[in-house]
Amino acid sequence: MLVTIAYGQDYSGNAQLLSAAVKERWTDCKINLVGLSSPEYEEKYQIQLEKDIVYSKKSGAVAESTDNIVTMIEERL
């Protein structure tokens, strides 16, 4: 299983926490962390399972909790 976490600077901490939670839940999971440094992506936070988008934060919205995103990934399996 491959999970990709694309995140703007504002979500670096969220990305690290989610990465650890996913690895804890699925120890054989591969995780790609993609930091986005362009100012237009500062508020970007998107999670993909393989090629499917599981979660994408809209600008100005609060990011889902790590537990909720892990549940969303599990529902897609």
Compute the distance between CA of residue 52 and CA of residue 7 in angstroms, rounded to an integer. Answer: 16
Any idea which of 9-13, 41-45, 65-69 has the lowest mean pLDDT?
Answer: 41-45
Domain count, the chain: 1
Task: Domain of residue 16: give its range.
Answer: 2-76
pLDDT over 90 (residue 63): no
Residue 30, pLDDT > 90, answer yes
Q: Which ranges of the chain would DSSP assign to H, the alpha helix?
A: 12-25, 66-76
CATH assignment at residue 43: 3.40.30.10
Residue 61 has a pLDDT of: 66
Sign, CA dihedral 57-63-66-67, equals negative
Residue-wise pLDDT for 40-62, tens only, equals: 777 789 999 999 999 998 766 67
Mean pLDDT of the chain: 90
The token duo for 19 is 């990465």
Instruction: Give this prediction's pTM.
Output: 0.87
